Amino acid sequence: MAVFRLWRKIRRTGRVAEPPGPRPGGLSCPKAAGLGGSVQLRHVDAGSCNGCEIEIGSAFGPVHDAERYGARLVASPRHADALLVTGPVTHNMAVPLRHTFEAVSEPRIVVAVGDCAIGTGEFAGGYGVHGAVGDVVAVDVQVAGCPPEPEAIVAALRGLTGR
């Protein structure tokens, strides 16, 4: 009997969903026009404190769920459309970052996540710091913050996918 009451309630209520969020005004990166609404991302930690990694994990977690907008993390740069780079580039990571960038298929898109990736942040002038991500590879999209909020990361990825 309880099953029928529940079924009637479901039929009366109908489909309930969250209202859609604001759509991005357009692509924040002209290179992303050919991606077809989805982007495969390879994450590269170039020497960060792991604060941005925690926020990226939250952006792809069940609450913010960046995958519903067509962004997906992949394990190999050969499967990726874009790089998601965090932290200032250390001397030991400059060459591996260039090699990873070259392994990504065309068009190569680089997203710098966090103040350290954009301009070395707290690590400016450090003995092991080579420079910002933009000093090693060309950056197309920047997500500011120390660490950036998951909403900002998802908004940047939505700008890439156009969803």
Q: What is the DSSP string of 37-89?
A: T-EEEEEEESS--SHHHHHHHHHTSTTT-GGGGTEEE-S-GGG-SEEEEESPE
Instruction: Give the pLDDT mean for 71-90.
Output: 94
Residue pointed to by tokens 């926020």: 55
The whole-number pLDDT of residue 19 equals 56
Domain limits, the chain: 38-161
At 11, is the pLDDT very low, low, confident or very high (cuts 50, 70, 90)?
Answer: confident
Q: Domain 38-161 belongs to what architecture? A: 3-Layer(aba) Sandwich (3.40)
**In 63-79, which positions are buried (b, 16+ CB within 10 angstroms) versus exposed (e)?**
ebebeebbbbbeeebee
The whole-number pLDDT of residue 23 equals 47
- Give per-residue pLDDT as tens, 118-155: 999 888 889 999 999 999 999 999 999 999 999 999 99
- Give per-residue pLDDT as tens, 16-37: 665 555 544 444 577 776 677 8
Task: Please give the mean pLDDT across all residues of the chain.
Answer: 87
Q: How far apart are CA 32 and CA 20, in angstroms?
A: 22
Look up the pTM and report it: 0.80
**In 153-162, which positions are buried (b, 16+ CB within 10 angstroms) versus exposed (e)?**
bbbbbbbbbb
